[in-house]
């Protein structure tokens, strides 16, 4: 990738981060609406929104507060659209570094989230219509197993083929999350943990094994991608983001090794030269007095005394005679 392409990718990353933030806000709004759903009294027993046991009870809950259920579906669909933009940005960043990524994945990341959101809204409208019809049935037809069968038939007739389309949309949504996350991980756009995390989010959206905690997992994943797209990832993003090449995201062990190498290089440059020991210093002084060089080949600037350098003067013969007379 060229510098211009990398700059354009960073610019789009801010929009992708904004889409992730919007998806977080919309998801939190759906949580708030779910918390505001009220239980209802139906002929002596209480039906709770979080623990209904049959299709008949689900229709009764929908009939008593249809607007909340509709807004819940609409906001959830818009959150899926934001997630779709996030997935599409991951796909384009991966494709720029690995051209072998399947081209059909581009359309899956764009269509599957939008398709799932639209189908969910249409299905909820049909559910509301089925709930209205079920509520106006004779009382005896709404109780027990017979009432549950009637509710199931009404939902099936109201939704028609939309239910099957919803299943197809859910499968495409799983593929969008799983395949995009795995390819981004192999390219170095996502770390290994984030790659598997994104794949798990896609599976949990269709099969909510964690129950209400599934929504929290989605919010956490979107928040992590926001930090990544804005280049605020702790310790820095993988080298693939900076080089534009498919380089695997370094593992924690690799990062520790790189940091240790940097510390070693910094310590070696700042370490002072070793001072000569006493014996080494004396050896250099003696070598300098003889006019030799030290270990580096340069003569040491230590000169001998001038008295030692001058030739010794011979005593005068008369001085010798005076010394004999004194003795």
Whether residue 248 has pLDDT greater than 70: yes
Is 92 a member of any domain? yes
Partnered with residue 46 across adjacent β-strands are 41
What residues form DSSP beta bridges with 299?
A: 293
Whether 209 is covered by a domain: the verdict is: yes
The 10s digit of each residue's pLDDT in 33-56 is 988 988 888 777 788 887 777 888
State the chain's mean pLDDT as an integer.
81
With beta carbons less than 8 A apart as the criterion, state whether 288 and 299 touch.
yes
Residue 192 in any domain: the answer is yes
In a domain, 287, yes or no: no
Q: Which pLDDT belongs to residue 321?
A: 45
Report pTM.
Answer: 0.74
Is 306 a residue whose pLDDT tops 60?
no
Specify if 280 maps to a domain.
no
What SS3 state is found at 325? helix
What is the number of domains present in the chain?
A: 1
List alpha helices for 188-277, DSSP H: 192-206, 213-229, 239-243, 252-270
Q: Euclidean distance between the first and final Cα of the chain, in Å? A: 106
pLDDT of residue 285: 62
Question: How far apart are the C-alpha atoms of 36 and 40, rounded to whole Å?
Answer: 13
DSSP readout, 244-267?
A: -S--PPPPHHHHHHHHHHHHHHHH
Q: Using alpha carbons, select from 56, 30, 51 the residue that is nearest to residue 39.
A: 51
Q: What is the pLDDT of residue 57?
A: 84
Query: Taking a C-beta distance cutoff of 8 angstroms, is the pair 1, 96 a contact?
Result: yes
236: left (phi over 0), alpha (psi -120 to 50) or beta: left
pLDDT at 297 exceeding the cut of 50:
no
Residue 203 and residue 119: Cα distance in Å, rounded? 18
CA torsion angle for 214, 222, 111, 206 (degrees, to 10)? Answer: -10
269 assigned to some structural domain: no
| 305 within domain boundaries | no
Highest-pLDDT range among 138-147, 223-232, 284-293 = 223-232
Q: How far apart, in whole angstroms, are the C-alpha atoms of residue 277 and residue 294?
A: 14
Domain interval for residue 106: 3-253
Over residues 65-78, the mean pLDDT reads: 93
Across 83-97, 211-225, 281-295, least confident range: 281-295
Measured distance CA(270)–CA(276) in Å, rounded: 18
Question: Higher pLDDT residue, 94 or 252?
Answer: 94
**Residue 170 pLDDT grade (very low, low, confident, very high; cuts 50, 70, 90):** confident
309 belongs to a structural domain: no
In this predicted model, what pLDDT tens digit does every residue of 127-155 receive, in sequence order?
A: 999 889 888 888 777 777 777 888 888 88
Q: Using the Cα atoms of residue 149, residue 151, residue 154 and residue 159 in order, give the sign of their dihedral.
A: negative
pLDDT value of position 274 = 59
């Amino acid at each position: 990738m060229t510098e211009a392409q990398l700059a354009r990718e960073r610019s789009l990353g801010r929009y992708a981060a904004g889409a992730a933030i919007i998806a977080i806000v919309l998801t939190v709004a759906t949580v708030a609406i779910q918390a505001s759903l009220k239980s209802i009294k139906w002929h002596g027993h209480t039906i709770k929104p979080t623990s209904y046991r049959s299709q008949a009870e689900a229709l009764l809950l929908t009939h008593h507060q249809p607007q909340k259920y509709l807004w819940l579906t609409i906001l959830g669909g818009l959150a899926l659209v934001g997630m779709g933009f996030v997935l599409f940005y991951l796909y384009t960043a991966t494709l720029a570094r690995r051209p072998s990524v399947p081209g059909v994945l581009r359309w899956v990341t764009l269509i599957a989230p939008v398709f799932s959101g639209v189908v969910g809204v249409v299905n909820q409208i049909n559910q509301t219509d089925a709930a209205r019809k079920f509520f106006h049935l004779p009382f005896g037809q709404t109780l027990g197993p017979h009432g549950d069968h009637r509710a199931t038939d009404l939902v099936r007739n109201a939704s028609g083929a939309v239910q099957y389309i919803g299943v197809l949309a859910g499968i495409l949504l799983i593929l969008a999350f799983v395949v995009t996350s795995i390819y981004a991980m192999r390219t170095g756009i996502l770390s290994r943990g984030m790659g598997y995390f994104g794949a798990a989010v896609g599976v949990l959206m269709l099969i909510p094994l964690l129950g209400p905690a599934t929504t929290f997992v989605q919010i956490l994943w979107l928040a992590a991608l926001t930090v990544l797209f804005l280049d605020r990832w702790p310790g820095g993003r993988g080298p693939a983001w900076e080089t534009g090449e498919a380089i695997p995201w370094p593992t924690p062990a690799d990062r520790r090794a790189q940091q240790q190498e940097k510390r070693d290089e910094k310590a070696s440059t700042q370490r002072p030269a070793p001072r000569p020991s006493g014996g080494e210093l004396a050896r250099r002084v003696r070598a300098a007095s003889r006019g030799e060089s030290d270990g580096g080949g340069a003569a040491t600037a230590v000169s001998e005394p001038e008295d030692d350098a001058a030739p010794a003067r011979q005593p005068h013969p008369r001085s010798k005679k005076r010394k004999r007379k004194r003795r």
